[in-house]
């Protein structure tokens, strides 16, 4: 077990380094091909060579390799790794600490993800179970049709319609009925409010969760249908257990395992959805920060944020792997 | 189409609800805020939107609309600008005087302090200006100090690769002299009549010694000398400022606090509709609904914007565009009003001058006689220029911006339709690089937003170079008459006289026609029932925060 953890940790670090290097190359080439972000600092004006050089130094882009297309800029990369090793994640182009940005943005994204995950779970397990239990009946057809409908509405359509059609009248109504600082009024605020993060994240989280729930509904349904015909269910029934007991303990619980795995896998996809949700609902989160950083070719910020994200992902994967072994006696690592 | 109609209907319904509810609120306290006089509540909070990419509140480093408008209430400059004429008047300065336009004596009002108690004196200005002018500090407003003697010595030297070869020789502007605590003497490299006008700009605000000692802290929590102080800036999320009780000068807002919410994009219209913001601009899809809402129309304010978008030509390269008749033909072929009506109604106005009319002293409409849409005259001019070479395509270069691409596609279509010149757009991510390297092979989009309200700023920085052989970097334009008129303006005894000379320089442009003015921006805002006495600054286009009256009636 100890050797396994050591090997996995080593693999994790190697993965991390690879991710960082690929990103470093991409952002470096972006600068070399698209032009130096330092120039954008001057807008319509033509800077003198000295002014440009000063801003390049300030932005940490003064290494001549950034002007040589194709140069992988290994020097700055090594410097950055050294700084990271000492816990210094650097600053964005205008001098704000990357760790400070992440510390402000990450909690909002995590809160959003929590709401999304709960919605996935509730909708997926709830509707999927009903559809499987009454397979081929009208409930099943209705749920399957619903899941197709959900797929047909991308998240930005849901949010656009919500913000511009529903949010304002609902907010007005709630404000008049319950008062401006009441929970219902906050739920329907058209944008995120940092003073009331949970209340204002609820509806966007539910919508983002709804938009991604179709796959879960189908996954749970398929997995439970398999269970219904499984040997262990037949055995349970033959022992004379009530149908209710069989469904709850042997079908629904078993089907939760693939769903948990899928939640993990879909997490990265959810980040993509979070970029849109965060952008439209004005949530200061990781997706939005990353989006703006890429747009502004802010190398230090892109690398810093992704490295922190990748490090967390690698660590979580490691914990999950180890937890599997601890939970399931059939899994042994050697 | 159906969705848009539904949205419009919903938006209308919403604003009706808004109107009825706040109308009732207004009656309760007899609030006559809409009538102006004394409608402001000293404890009221103004709620504004702020762009999320504001990264600093350091005056020397603030050069975008958003931090400029925050700092306008946090700092006081030597001069401020009249909200109607944009002409400067003394504010922190007792007087700004010069006999020869080269040596300027600035007297500062006595007993003014920063919010931390430090005196606002000549030294406070000198330390801010020296910091900004020192090249390696890479301040956004560095170039404003080019005119002050000793600026060159504070910039490093670089080789062709852009690597610093020589460190700056000086750390202070030799042209700045603190004569006594209330007197600052500024020596320029040459006469410039507009220097007094520049002094109200954000880059010329003073800073406290405590600020200089910890620039990073000061960039997020400024120590101002204005009527408001920043309470907290949660970067990326919100910024709050409240009234500074020890403020001694006159121009203090009549409300208690300002709360800026940061937005990543411009999607704040629903928040305005829900009553969470006091100023907003609807997105294009909501524009018509807002325009058709009589209640909202009562709370609409519009003013000319100062930004000029124009079409420039690579005069440094051989081509039909080196003939003035060809440039005229292009200009006459563009249906400016038609394009605006179709694409950006209410958001741009056709430009027929190089300086924004009424927005700055000396700005006058109609200086461009070939900026009308006249397809027949355009064809005639093209013929005079010898026509367009058979089989060639006109390339129009521009940056990558969706709105501008749509605008310039329409301009290209206009040219193609009226002159029969086939064209292609070249949206390039390297726009500034390529422009600086003279890498354009056809006309290109350009844009100018002035730095200070004076017609000179639309002219000299854009067209003057003093380089007879090569012309200016961007277009390759040079005119002796133009440079002479600018010089005469710089040396004028009074600002009025200077403005007249600068107008002569604009007249030279109208003859030489190096560039084609296309559109000016328009500033407009909808505002909530909480605010009144809304005046847009004709220069920045932002509401004058110090004149606003705010009451939290809702």
Q: Which two tokens stand for residue B446?
A: 């350009």
Residue A245 near chain B (CB below 8 Å): no
- Give dist(CA A302, CA A323) in Å, integer: 31
- Give dist(CA B532, CA B550) in Å, integer: 7
The full set of domains in chain A, from first to last, is 2-85 (no CATH), 102-296 (1.10.3720.10)
pLDDT on residue A326: 66
Question: Is the predicted pLDDT of residue A72 greater than 70, yes or no?
Answer: yes
pLDDT on residue B32: 38
A180-211 pLDDT tens trace: 788 888 899 888 888 888 999 999 999 988 98
HSE-up of residue B426 (Cα within 13 Å, Cβ side): 16
- Per-residue pLDDT band at A67 (split at 50, 70, 90): confident
Q: Chain A neighbours among B 126-185 (CB < 8 Å)?
A: 135-138, 140, 142-143, 155-158, 161-164
Of B226, B206, B232, B205, nearest to B73 by C-alpha is: B226
Q: Chain B neighbours among A 69-98 (CB < 8 Å)?
A: 92-96
**All CATH 3.40.190.10 domain ranges in chain B, comma separated:** 4-260+528-550
Residue B490 near chain A (CB below 8 Å): no
Q: Which 8-state DSSP code applies to residue B153? A: G
Subunit contact B236:A101, Cβ cutoff 8 A? yes
C-alpha distances (whole Å) from B221 to each of A93, B70, B214, B230 are: 19, 12, 11, 6
Cβ atoms B535, B352 nearer than 8 A: no
Subunit contact A53:B156, Cβ cutoff 8 A? yes
Of B52, B162, B270, the CB nearest to A167: B270
pLDDT averaged over chain A?
84
**All CATH 3.10.105.10 domain ranges in chain B, comma separated:** 303-522
pLDDT on residue B445: 95
Task: Kindly list the residues from chain B whose CB atom is less than 8 angstroms away from the CB atom of residue A34.
Answer: 429-430
pLDDT on residue A271: 64
- Per-residue pLDDT band at A8 (split at 50, 70, 90): confident
Task: Kindly list the residues from chain A whose CB atom is less than 8 angstroms away from the CB atom of residue B435.
Answer: 46
- Per-residue pLDDT band at A92 (split at 50, 70, 90): confident
- Give dist(CA B106, CA A200) in Å, integer: 52
pLDDT on residue A329: 60
pLDDT on residue B215: 94
First to last CA, chain B: 34
* Residue B144 distance to chain A (closest CA, Å): 12
pLDDT on residue B156: 83
Cβ atoms B184, B126 nearer than 8 A: yes
Q: Which 8-state DSSP code applies to residue B148? A: B
The structure's pTM equals: 0.83
Residue B276 near chain A (CB below 8 Å): yes
Q: Is the dihedral of CA A114, A115, A119, A125 positive or negative?
A: positive
Of B55, B219, B267, the CB nearest to A282: B267
Average pLDDT, integer, range A225-250: 87
- Give dist(CA B37, CA B41) in Å, integer: 12
A45-64 pLDDT tens trace: 777 888 888 888 888 888 88
pLDDT on residue B225: 96
Question: Is the predicted pLDDT of residue A214 greater than 60, yes or no?
Answer: yes
Helix (H, G, I), strand (E, B) or coil at B47: strand
Question: Is the predicted pLDDT of residue A44 greater than 90, yes or no?
Answer: no
Q: What is the dihedral of CA B139, B141, B146, B148, to 10 degrees?
A: -100
Of B520, B518, B496, nearest to B357 by C-alpha is: B520
CA B107 to the chain's CA centroid: 28
Cβ atoms B332, B544 nearer than 8 A: no
What ipTM does the predicted assembly reach? Answer: 0.81
From the first residue on, what is the mean pLDDT of each consecutive set of 10 residues in chain B (554 residues)? 37 36 35 48 92 88 88 96 89 95 96 96 97 92 93 85 79 96 96 94 96 94 96 92 94 94 84 92 84 92 89 94 95 95 88 90 93 95 93 92 90 95 91 86 92 92 90 91 95 93 96 96 92 87 92 68
Of B52, B274, B433, the CB nearest to A190: B274
A203 phi and psi angles, rounded to 5 deg: -65, -50
Hey, of A32, A191, A292, which one would you mutate to test binding to chain B, going by the most B CBs within 10 A of its CB? Answer: A191
Subunit contact B138:A194, Cβ cutoff 8 A? no
B178 phi and psi angles, rounded to 5 deg: -85, 100
The residue written with tokens 């709105």 in the block is B403
- Give dist(CA B397, CA A8) in Å, integer: 52
Say which CATH architecture domain B4-260+528-550 belongs to. 3-Layer(aba) Sandwich (3.40)
pLDDT on residue B58: 95
Fold of the domain spanning B303-522:
Dipeptide-binding Protein; domain 3 (3.10.105)
Of A46, A52, A101, the CB nearest to B474: A46
Task: Kindly list the residues from chain A whose CB atom is less than 8 angstroms away from the CB atom of residue B271.
Answer: 189-191
Of A40, A58, A282, the CB nearest to B264: A282
A281-316 pLDDT tens trace: 888 888 888 888 887 778 888 888 888 877 877 777
């Amino acid at each position: 077990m100890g050797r396994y953890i050591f090997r996995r940790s080593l693999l994790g670090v190697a993965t991390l380094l690879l991710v960082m290097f690929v990103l470093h190359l991409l952002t470096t080439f972006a600068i070399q091909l698209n032009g130096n972000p330092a120039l954008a600092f001057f807008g319509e004006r033509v800077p003198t060579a000295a002014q440009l050089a000063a801003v390049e130094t300030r932005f940490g882009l003064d290494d001549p390799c950034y002007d040589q297309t194709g140069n992988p800029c290994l020097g700055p990369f090594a410097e950055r790794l050294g700084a990271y090793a000492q816990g210094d994640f650097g600053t964005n182009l205008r001098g704000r600490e990357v760790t400070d940005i992440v510390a402000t943005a990450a909690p909002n994204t995590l809160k959003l993800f929590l709401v999304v995950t709960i919605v996935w779970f509730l909708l997926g397990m709830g509707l999927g179970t009903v559809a499987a239990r009454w397979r081929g009946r009208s409930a099943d057809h209705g749920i399957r049709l619903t899941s197709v409908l959900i797929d047909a509405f991308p998240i930005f359509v849901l949010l656009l319609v919500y913000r511009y059609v529903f949010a304002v009248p609902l907010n007005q109504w709630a404000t008049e009925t319950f008062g401006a600082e009441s929970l219902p009024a906050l739920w329907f605020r058209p944008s995120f409010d940092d003073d009331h993060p949970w209340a204002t994240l609820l509806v966007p989280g539910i919508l983002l969760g709804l938009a991604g729930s179709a796959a879960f509904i189908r996954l749970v349904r398929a997995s439970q249908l398999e269970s219904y015909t499984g040997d262990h269910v037949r055995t349970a029934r033959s022992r004379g257990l009530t149908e209710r007991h069989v469904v709850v303990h042997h079908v629904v619980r078993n089907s939760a395992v693939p769903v948990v795995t899928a939640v993990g896998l879909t997490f990265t996809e959810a980040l993509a959805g979070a970029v849109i949700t965060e952008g439209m609902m004005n949530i200061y989160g990781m997706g939005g920060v990353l989006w703006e950083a890429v747009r502004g070719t802010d190398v230090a910020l892109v690398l810093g944020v992704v490295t922190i994200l990748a490090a967390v992902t690698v660590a979580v994967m490691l914990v999950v792997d180890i937890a599997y072994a601890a939970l399931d006696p059939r899994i042994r690592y050697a | 189409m159906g969705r848009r109609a539904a949205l419009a209907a919903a938006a209308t319904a919403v604003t009706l609800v808004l109107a009825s509810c706040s109308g009732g609120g207004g009656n309760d306290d007899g609030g006559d805020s809409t009538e102006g006089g004394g409608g402001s509540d000293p404890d009221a909070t103004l709620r504004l939107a702020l762009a999320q990419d504001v990264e600093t509140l350091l005056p020397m480093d603030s050069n975008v609309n958003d931090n400029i408008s925050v700092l306008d209430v946090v700092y006081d400059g030597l001069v401020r600008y009249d909200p109607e004429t944009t002409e400067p008047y003394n504010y922190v300065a007792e007087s700004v005087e010069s006999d020869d336009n080269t040596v300027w004596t600035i007297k500062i009002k006595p007993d003014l302090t920063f919010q931390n108690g430090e005196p606002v004196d000549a030294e406070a200005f000198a330390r801010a200006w020296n910091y900004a002018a020192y090249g390696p500090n890479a301040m956004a407003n560095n170039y404003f100090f080019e005119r002050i003697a000793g600026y060159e010595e504070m910039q490093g030297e670089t080789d062709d690769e852009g690597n610093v070869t020589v460190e700056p020789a000086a750390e202070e502007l030799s042209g700045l002299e603190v004569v006594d605590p209330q007197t600052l003497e500024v020596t320029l490299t040459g006469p410039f009549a507009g220097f007094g006008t520049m002094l109200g700009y954000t880059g010329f605000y003073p800073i406290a010694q405590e600020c200089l000692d910890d620039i990073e802290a000061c960039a997020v929590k400024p120590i101002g000398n204005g009527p408001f102080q920043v309470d907290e800036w949660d970067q990326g999320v919100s910024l709050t400022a409240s009234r500074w009780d020890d403020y001694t000068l006159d121009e203090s807002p009549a409300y208690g606090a300002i709360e800026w919410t940061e937005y990543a994009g411009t999607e704040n219209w629903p928040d305005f509709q829900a009553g969470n913001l006091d100023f907003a601009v609807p997105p294009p899809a909501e524009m018509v609904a807002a325009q058709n809402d009589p209640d909202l129309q009562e709370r609409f304010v519009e003013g000319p914007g100062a930004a000029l978008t124009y079409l420039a030509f690579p005069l440094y390269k051989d081509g039909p565009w080196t003939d003035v008749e060809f440039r005229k033909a292009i200009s006459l072929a563009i249906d400016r009003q038609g394009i605006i009506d179709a694409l950006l109604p209410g958001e741009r106005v056709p430009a027929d001058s190089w300086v924004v009319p009424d927005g700055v002293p000396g700005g006058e409409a109609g200086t461009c006689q070939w900026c009308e849409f006249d397809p027949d005259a355009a064809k005639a001019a093209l013929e005079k220029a010898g026509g367009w070479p058979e089989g060639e395509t006109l390339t129009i270069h521009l940056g990558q911006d969706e709105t501008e691409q749509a605008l310039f596609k329409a301009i290209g279509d206009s040219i193609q339709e009226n002159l029969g010149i086939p064209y292609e757009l070249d949206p390039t991510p390297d726009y500034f690089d390529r422009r600086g390297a003279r890498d354009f092979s056809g006309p290109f989009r350009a844009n100018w937003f002035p730095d200070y309200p004076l017609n000179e700023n639309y002219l000299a920085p854009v067209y003057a170079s003093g380089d007879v052989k090569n012309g200016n970097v961007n277009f390759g334009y040079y005119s002796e008459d133009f440079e002479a008129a600018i010089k005469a303006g710089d040396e004028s005894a009074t600002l009025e006289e200077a403005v007249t000379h600068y107008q002569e320089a604009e007249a030279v442009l109208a003859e030489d026609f190096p560039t084609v003015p296309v559109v000016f921006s328009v500033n407009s805002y909808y505002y909530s029932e909480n605010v009144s006495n809304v005046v847009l600054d004709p220069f920045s286009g932002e509401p004058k925060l110090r004149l606003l009256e705010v009451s939290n009636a809702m």
